[in-house]
């Protein structure tokens, strides 16, 4: 079991190997790849290309522009730049990703994994199960639970009342706080599992040697453990960033992006523009921007793994 997502297998394993059918040409051997190539090209590559093209049209949900959209050049992008909601949505997305994923899930996941090494085994596995439970539930169920928890007469305010505080209407007054906490609750399991696996692969000898040399717990963490799992940290950060970037259901059920656009991340905004205002072209322009942002992160992720040479 290695920490890294992409597991390097035994070097002795025969990629290549002898050729079963010398008569069958190279093309014949690639034949089993055809169904996957067709599916990926039609349903993933197709929409991505369509996204770039569609963002230059005035395609609409209904009416004459639904079936025969016109090419309108950069108008959607110009409109986006002039739309006050768009910069707000960018900021909301950025805050959501940084606070709930990069800080929240990442740090909490790492902390839980580190604490588990110290703590009682039974306590560790029970807490691990609870953290994973929030993550295994279907997203719509997790979203309802979060909605109930943060609603005005919900559990959080009930708990606050116990200590004499009258809680606010979280979903309305502090929608960002609510969706960020909900996303930390929902997604921390991923980081925890990654770091649990990574920490198991740090050889005890090294940390013990450092301990003999007099390094304290914090020093050992900063100078030994963290550098040794840095690949796991960077891949985890990339993946949770991309996952959080595409969170829709949680926000949609909890706040619908509101009030006004106060918690409207890019996916919610794209949905709103495309399917509620019926402006598919405009929504597609937002989708294209998300794709570009996602592609940048994905490229960094792939390059990171390639530097480790884990793809054969």
Give min distance, CB of 260 to another protein, in A: 21
Which of 56, 86, 170, 271 contacts another protein by CB under 8 A?
A: 271
In the block, tokens 């902390």 appear at 111
270 touches another protein by CB under 8 A: yes
Interface positions, 63-102, toward another protein (CB under 8 A):
66-67
Name which of 116 and 180 has its Cβ closer to another protein: 116
Give min distance, CB of 53 to another protein, in A: 9
Which of 32, 63, 64, 214 contacts another protein by CB under 8 A?
A: 32
Name which of 216 and 227 has its Cβ closer to another protein: 216
172 touches another protein by CB under 8 A: no
The tokens for 12 are 């002795």
Which of 78, 103, 133, 206 contacts another protein by CB under 8 A?
A: 133
Q: In terms of C-beta density within 10 A (0-12 exposed, 13-18 middle, 19 or more buried), how is residue 68 classed?
A: exposed
Per-residue binder mask for another protein (CB under 8 A), 189-228, x = binder: -x--xx-xx-xx---x---x--x-----x-----------
Q: Provide the b/e sequence for 17-46 (b: ≥16 CB within 10 Å).
A: eeeeeeeeeeeeeeeeeeeeeeeeeeeeee
311 touches another protein by CB under 8 A: yes
185 touches another protein by CB under 8 A: yes
Give min distance, CB of 82 to another protein, in A: 20
- Given a contact cutoff of 8 angstroms between Cβ atoms, the answer to whether 152 and 88 are in contact is no
The piece of 94-102, 166-174, 223-231, 239-247 that touches another protein (CB under 8 A) is 239-247
The tokens for 137 are 């539930």
Interface positions, 11-30, toward another protein (CB under 8 A):
13-21, 24, 26, 29-30
The tokens for 260 are 């006004």
Per-residue binder mask for another protein (CB under 8 A), 43-62, x = binder: xx-xxx-xx--x----x---
Nearest to 185 by CA among 160, 218, 234, 150: 150
249 touches another protein by CB under 8 A: yes
Q: Provide the b/e sequence for 275-301 (b: ≥16 CB within 10 Å).
A: eeebbbbbbbbbbbbbbebeeebeeeb
Task: Output the CA–CA distances (angstroms, integers) from residue 185 to 131, 143, 181, 192, 250, in the order listed.
Answer: 8, 11, 6, 12, 11
Interface positions, 96-125, toward another protein (CB under 8 A):
108, 111-112, 115-121, 123-125
Q: Which residues contact 52 (CB under 8 A, 6 or more apart)?
A: 288
The tokens for 243 are 């996952």
248 touches another protein by CB under 8 A: yes
């Amino acid at each position: 079991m290695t920490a890294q997502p992409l597991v390097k297998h035994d070097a002795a394993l025969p990629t290549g190997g002898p050729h079963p059918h010398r008569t069958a040409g190279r093309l014949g051997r690639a034949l089993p790849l055809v169904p996957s190539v067709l599916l990926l090209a039609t349903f993933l590559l197709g929409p991505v290309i369509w996204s770039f093209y569609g963002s230059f049209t005035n395609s609409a949900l209904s009416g004459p522009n639904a079936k025969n959209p016109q090419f309108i050049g950069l108008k959607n992008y110009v409109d986006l730049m002039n739309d006050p909601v768009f910069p707000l949505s960018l900021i909301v997305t950025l805050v959501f990703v940084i606070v709930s994923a990069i800080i929240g899930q990442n740090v909490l996941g790492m902390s839980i994994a580190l604490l588990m090494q110290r703590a009682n085994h039974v306590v560790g596995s029970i807490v691990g199960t609870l953290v994973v439970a929030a993550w295994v539930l279907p997203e719509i169920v997790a979203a309802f639970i979060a909605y109930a928890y943060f609603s005005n007469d919900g559990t959080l305010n009930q708990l606050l009342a116990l200590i004499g505080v009258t809680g606010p209407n979280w979903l309305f007054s502090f929608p960002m706080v609510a969706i960020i906490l909900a996303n930390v609750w929902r997604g921390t399991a991923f980081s925890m599992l990654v770091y649990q696996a990574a920490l198991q692969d740090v050889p005890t000898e090294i940390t013990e040697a450092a301990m003999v040399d007099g390094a304290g717990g914090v020093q050992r963490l900063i100078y030994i453990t963290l550098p040794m799992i840095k690949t796991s940290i960077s891949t985890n950060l990339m993946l949770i960033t991309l996952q959080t970037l595409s969170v829709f259901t949680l926000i949609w059920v909890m706040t619908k992006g509101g009030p006004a656009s106060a918690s409207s991340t890019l996916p919610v905004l794209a949905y709103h523009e495309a399917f509620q205002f019926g402006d598919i072209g405009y929504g597609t322009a937002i989708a294209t921007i998300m794709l570009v942002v996602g592609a940048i992160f994905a490229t960094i992720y792939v390059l990171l793994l390639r530097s480790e040479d884990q793809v054969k």
